[in-house]
Amino acid sequence: MALRASADLDEIRARSDIVEVVSQYVALKRTGKSFKGLCPFHAEKTPSFTVNPELQRWRCFGCGQYGDVFDFVMRVENVPFLEAVRLLAERAGLRFDPRGTAPTQEEEDRRQQLLRVNHFAAQFFREALQRYPLPQHILRQRGVTPETQERFAIGYAPPERTALSRLLKAKKFSLAIAAEAGLVAQGEDGEYYDRFRDRLMFPIWDRQGRVVAFGGRAIGDAQPKYLNSPETPLFRKSRTVYALHLAKERMMAERTALLLEGYMDVVAAHQAGFTHAIATMGTALTEEQIDILSRLVSRVIVVYDSDNAGTEAAKRAGEMLRQHGLEVRIARLPEGEDPDSLLRRQGAQALQECLNRAEPLTDFLLHELYRRHDLDTVEGRTQVLQHAIPILAAIPTGIERDRYITQLARLHPTYFTNPSKPEELIRREVERFLRYKGMETQQAQLTSEPVPPAAEVAEPFPQGVLRAEGALLRGILSEEWRAFVLQIAQPSDMVSEGAQQFFELVRRAWEAGMELHLPSLLAALSDPRLREAVSMRLALEEPLSQSALQGAVSYLQRWHKRTRQIQISAQLAQDFSPDSKNYQEYQKLISELHSEARRDRKE
C-alpha cells in the first residue's frame, strides 16, 4: 500500500483502533464493553490487562502500566515515541513526517520499494521451485508436504548467476534497491549478479507477515550451508524471530513458545502440529529477541540439537530467558537428533514425549554437571558443588533454591559425618556469591543512568468522588446531557486536577464547534497520570439521569465545603478568634452542611 502524504497525530490515532493493534500481540476476549487478556508486559496467569474501545485506552491492573495506542506500541515494540507513530502510520497507510517538511520521493518510496522487490523475489523463488526437479525431490525426501511448502513460501534460487537479476531488470525493478535488499550484488565490472544461487529459499517475515529477508540452504556441499540476507533497513537479525507471525496466535493462547535452531526444524515442527515453534536467525539468542518473546509468552521450551554445541547454546539461551523472568524448560532430544530428523524418523509423538519430559532450567544445568564429572570420586563431587553455586544463586526464589541445596548436600564431604551441616555450608557459599554479585550490580548502577519508574496513578479520593466526577464527565461528553451539565456544573466543581482540566477542555472544544473525539481530547491532557485518572472515571458505566447528574454536583460541592471546613478547623486550632473571618466562614459552612443533610434526609 502506498503511503499517503504526511498525517498528523490525531489522524493516525483515529485510524489506529486500539483493539485491532493490541490484538496483534495479545489474545483478547470481550468482557462487557471492554476486552481482556494476559498482560504482555509481565508474566501472569489470570488476565488483568484490559482494553477500552470507547476510550481507546488500555490498562493492566497487575503491573500498573496504562496508556493509549501510542504508549502500547512504544512499550510492546520497545521503540521511542516517533518510531511508534511511524509504525502506526505505516500500518494505517499514512505517512508521518516529524520534521514537518515534505519528504523527497526517494525517501517516501524507499521502504516500499524494498518490500516490493522482496515480495517479487519470493514469488520468483516459488515459481522456480516448480521448474527444478532436484529441490522438489529434496523436499519430498524430507517429508515437506506441498501445503507446508505453500505455508512457508519455500522456494528455490536457480544455479544461474543472473537468473533473478535479469528478471528484475526486465520488470523495471531498480537493481540498486535489489542490492540494498540483499538479493543481488555488484561485481567489480559493475554488473549485478544473484546473491542466492542453487539454494532452497526460506522467506523471513517481519511481525506483520511481510517478507523482509531470505535464508538460503545449500543444495549440495556449497559453503556456507545457510546463507542469510545481509542486514538492511528492513531486516535486523538480532530483532527478528523466524515464523513469529505464523506462531504468535498459538504462542499467546498457550503463553508458551518452542524455541528451535533452524528453518527446517521450524517447518517440520509446524507441519507436525507444533505451530508455536519459532527460531532465531542462525545466531545466538539476543536481548531484543527475548524482549519480543516476553511480551507474548511466559514460558519457553528450548529444543536445540542434541550435540555438544546445541547443549551449550541451550544453556546460554535458557539463562538469558530466565533473567527476563520467563519460565524456562530444556527438552533433551535423542543423541544425534535435531527436531527435523526426529520428526522424520519417529513422528510427532516422539517430539511430544521429549517436550513432556523437558526439564526446568536448573535441573538441566545440574544434570549437565553430573554428566561431566565423576560422582564416584571426592574430586568430582567437589567440582560439581563448586560449579553449582552460581546455578543455585540464579534461582529466583528461596524455597526453590533450598530444594536444590538439599539435593546437592549429599555430595558434600561432611554429609556422612554430619548430614545437617552441608546444607548450611552450601547456603553460606550461595549467600557469599550473591553478595559479591550484588556489589558488582551496585557498581554498575553507579556508572549508568537511572531508569525512571513507570508513572503511578495516585487516587487519594473515595469512590464517591470518582463516581460523581465520572458522571459529570460522561454527561458533558453526551449530546443528550451536555447542555444540562453545563447549566448545573463548572470546572471548579470537580475535585481532581484531571477532571477539572478535562471538563474545561471539553467545554471549550464544544463552544468552538470542534468535534469531540474522545481519544484526542484525552491526549490533550499533557500529564499521562491525569489522562489515566480521567479514563478511569469515564470507564464507569453507571446510568445517567437528571437526578444522578444533579446529585453528582451536590456531592462534589459538599466535598469542597467539608474540605474547606477541615482546613479552617485546623487553622482555628492554632489561632482561635470568634471575631475572625475564618470563624465566621466556618460557622456558615457548618450551617450549610447541616441544612443540606436535613434536605437529603427528607428527600
| Residue in 121, 96, 138 with CA at minimum distance from that of residue 12 | 96
Please report whether residue 100 resides in a domain.
Answer: no
| Structure confidence at residue 334 (pLDDT) | 93
Domain boundary, last residue among 365, 388, 413: 365
Considering only residues 170 and 529, tell me which one the structure prediction assigns the higher pLDDT.
Answer: 170
Please report whether residue 99 resides in a domain.
Answer: no
Domain count, the chain: 5
Please report whether residue 383 resides in a domain.
Answer: yes
- Residues 493 and 598 reside in one and the same domain: yes
Residue 2 grid coordinates: 502506498
- Residues 245 and 335 reside in one and the same domain: yes
Please report whether residue 541 resides in a domain.
Answer: yes
Considering only residues 99 and 87, tell me which one the structure prediction assigns the higher pLDDT.
Answer: 87
- Residues 20 and 127 reside in one and the same domain: no
Considering only residues 240 and 573, tell me which one the structure prediction assigns the higher pLDDT.
Answer: 240
Residue 83 burial by Cβ neighbours in a 10 Å radius (0-12, 13-18, 19+): middle
Least confident of 78-82, 126-130, 294-298, 596-600: 596-600
Task: Judge whether residue 453 has pLDDT over 60.
Answer: no
325-363 tens-digit pLDDT: 899 999 999 998 999 999 999 999 999 999 999 999 999
- Residues 423 and 505 reside in one and the same domain: no
- Residues 115 and 223 reside in one and the same domain: yes
176-227 tens-digit pLDDT: 999 999 999 998 888 999 999 999 999 999 877 899 999 999 997 778 888 9
Percent of the chain with pLDDT over 90: 33
| Residue in 236, 313, 332 with CA at minimum distance from that of residue 281 | 236
Read off the pLDDT band of 169 (50, 70, 90). very high
DSSP string, 378-415: HHHHHHHHHHHHHHHHT-S-HHHHHHHHHHHGGGSTTT
CATH assignment at residue 338: 3.40.1360.10
CB atoms within 10 A of CB 562: 12
461-471 tens-digit pLDDT: 778 888 889 89
Name the average pLDDT for the chain: 83
- Residues 231 and 253 reside in one and the same domain: no
Read off the pLDDT band of 568 (50, 70, 90). low
| Residue in 276, 280, 299, 300 with CA at minimum distance from that of residue 288 | 280
Domain boundary, last residue among 409, 444, 479: 444
Please report whether residue 97 resides in a domain.
Answer: no
Residue 176 grid coordinates: 540498486
Please report whether residue 489 resides in a domain.
Answer: yes
Show the domain range for 18: 9-91
Task: Judge whether residue 108 has pLDDT over 60.
Answer: no
Give how far Cα 264 sits from Cα of 8, 185, 201, 224, 398, Å: 44, 26, 11, 16, 40
CATH assignment at residue 85: 3.90.580.10
Under 8 Å between Cβ of 55 and 518: yes
226-275 tens-digit pLDDT: 899 999 988 988 889 999 999 988 988 888 999 999 899 999 999 999 99
- Residues 329 and 388 reside in one and the same domain: no
- Residues 286 and 222 reside in one and the same domain: no
Please report whether residue 296 resides in a domain.
Answer: yes
- Residues 134 and 185 reside in one and the same domain: yes
304-318 tens-digit pLDDT: 988 888 888 999 999
- Residues 220 and 113 reside in one and the same domain: yes
Task: Judge whether residue 440 has pLDDT over 70.
Answer: no
| Structure confidence at residue 151 (pLDDT) | 96
Task: Judge whether residue 364 has pLDDT over 50.
Answer: yes
| Structure confidence at residue 98 (pLDDT) | 60
CATH assignment at residue 535: 1.10.860
- Residues 246 and 353 reside in one and the same domain: yes
Under 8 Å between Cβ of 183 and 196: yes
Domain boundary, last residue among 91, 114, 137: 91
| Structure confidence at residue 435 (pLDDT) | 80
| Residue in 543, 537, 395 with CA at minimum distance from that of residue 457 | 537
| Structure confidence at residue 540 (pLDDT) | 77
CATH assignment at residue 195: 3.90.980.10
What pTM, to 2 d.p., does this model score? Answer: 0.64
Task: Judge whether residue 323 has pLDDT over 70.
Answer: yes
Helix (H, G, I), strand (E, B) or coil at 503: helix
Please report whether residue 468 resides in a domain.
Answer: yes
| Structure confidence at residue 412 (pLDDT) | 87
Least confident of 32-36, 143-147, 256-260: 32-36
- Residues 227 and 267 reside in one and the same domain: no
